[in-house]
Amino acid sequence: MKRSVALAAALLAGLTSIGSIPGTAFADGGGPGYHDDRKGGDHHHGDEGAVFVQTNKAEGNTIKVYDRDEDGRLTKAGEYETGGLGGFTIGAPLDALASQGSLIYHKGLLFAVNAGSNTVTVFRVDGTRLHKLQVIWSGGLLPVSVAARGDLVYVLNAGGEGSVQGFELHKGRLSRIEDANRSLGLHNGNPPAFGTAPAQVKIDPDSEFVLVSTKAANVMFSYEIGRHGELSRNPVISDAGNTPFGFTFDTDDTLLVAESGSNSVSRFELEDDGALDQIGPSVPNGQQATCWIQRVGDYFYAANAGTSTISAYRVNDHGKLELVEAVAADTGGGSIDMTASDGFLYVQNATAGNVQGYEVGRDGSLKLVTTVEGLPKFADSIGMEGIAAS
């Protein structure tokens, strides 16, 4: 159901503000980054690649790189400084940034948010080596999510009112787009509370809209993209379930949303005007804290942080969303963000401080093939968050 901006403001006006922590803002140039979460459906393994994990360390954010062999196994290959600081939201139970898409890979480039210093770092990826190209101001406070498609990149800032900032990508560098900064009007502090921080930004497959999920407001914002990447002055605001968190597209105009409040996944149609209409009922999985969702081939995997499990879903031939398996994997370590490549699913486990890799079977089953340890465990409101794959 479409709503007016005024109604959305009323929904959000009562959110508690938290004391502000000033952030550093600086710019210097930029590049692309969007993880195509439809990649990974080919079960004919053979291409090697890399998996990238963002440590989000408060004293200095870094990216750990792991070489992936043809069987999905990971080995350490290096660690690279982003030139920025990790950050956190207040009251986060397991995931410091309370978001999906804080680290993304696109066209040979890697984008990392530096939530503690309000910047985004762009790396060029050369196999398992990273080359830092740019550190640029995110256009707001506490950046938590990045989306890119073609030559357009948008960053979601969670602090304060919350905002989206658009960038143009040219030869591996980002430049801010005039008239592409939009406030979400969330009335948060900086850092914001976990529940009231927006969760993800994403561009639809046709590059017509930028979408943002808001968690506590239970709505999603859709901004129309102009000819030069500028954003519509006012968004279309739609109901998007019970605490919408991560989301991903299954077709050009339908998307799946993880509802962390109801521990379920729901499916929506993106209308021509940017409004979202729900298709069928939400499908619960019986787990706890369903927040992230990742596509691998014909299957969709939801990470349930509260029960440290992964649930498997699919959209059947009749367009109906189905739960394939409530517990496709028991990670045992506080599963949060995920990525996929070449038929493998990789899961960050925040309390265990590891990443697990699973081979995806033709029936959607998950087989553990690798575990890498020694990553920052969640403690004192901060820990690793952000994972991508080439």
Residue 145 has pLDDT above 70, yes or no: yes
* CB 188, CB 19: distance < 8 Å: no
Q: How far are the Cα atoms of 107, 156, 304 from residue 33, in angstroms, in the given order?
A: 7, 13, 26
Q: What share of the chain is helix, strand, coil (3-state, %, to 5)?
A: 5, 50, 50
Nearest alpha carbon to residue 155 among 85, 101, 90: 101
Task: Examine the pLDDT at 196 and tell me if it is beyond 60.
Answer: yes
* C-alpha separations of 247 from 18, 82, 148, 150, 325 in Å: 27, 26, 15, 20, 19
- pLDDT at 19 (0 to 100): 30
**CATH at residue 306:** 2.130.10.10
Cα 132-133-135 angle, rounded to 5 deg: 90
The pLDDT value recorded for residue 44 is 40
Backbone angles phi, psi at 236, to 5 degrees: -85, 135
Task: Name the residue range of residue 330's domain.
Answer: 2-17+25-389
Name the average pLDDT for the chain.
Answer: 90
Determine the pLDDT at residue 8.
37
* pLDDT per residue as tens digits for the range 40-71: 334 444 458 999 999 999 999 999 999 999 99
Q: What is the pLDDT of residue 47?
A: 56
Question: Which two three-digit tokens encode residue 212?
Answer: 């943002």
- Euclidean distance between CA atoms 55 and 60, whole angstroms: 9
Nearest to residue 61, comparing CAs of 376, 388, 378, 389?
A: 376
pTM given for the model: 0.88
Nearest to 102 by CA among 146, 58, 158: 146
Alpha carbon 279 to chain centroid, angstroms: 23
Contacts of 335 (CB under 8 A, 6+ apart): 292, 303, 304, 305, 308, 309, 310, 347, 348, 349, 350
pLDDT in tens, 199-219: 999 999 999 999 999 999 999
Closest CA to 239 of 272, 210, 276, 187: 276
Instruction: State pLDDT tens for residues 247-293.
Output: 999 999 999 999 999 999 999 999 999 999 999 999 999 999 999 99
**Count of domains observed in the chain:** 1
Report in angstroms the alpha-carbon separations of 270 from 30, 192, 216, 239, 277.
Answer: 30, 29, 21, 12, 7
- What lies within 8 Å, CB to CB, of 87 at 6+ separation is 56, 58, 96, 97, 114, 115, 116, 117, 142, 191, 382
Helix intervals (H) in the chain: 5-12
Q: Determine the Cα–Cα distance for residues 124 and 39; give it in Å rounded to an integer.
A: 20
Whether residue 372 has pLDDT greater than 90: yes
Bridge pairing between strands 344-349 and 354-360: antiparallel
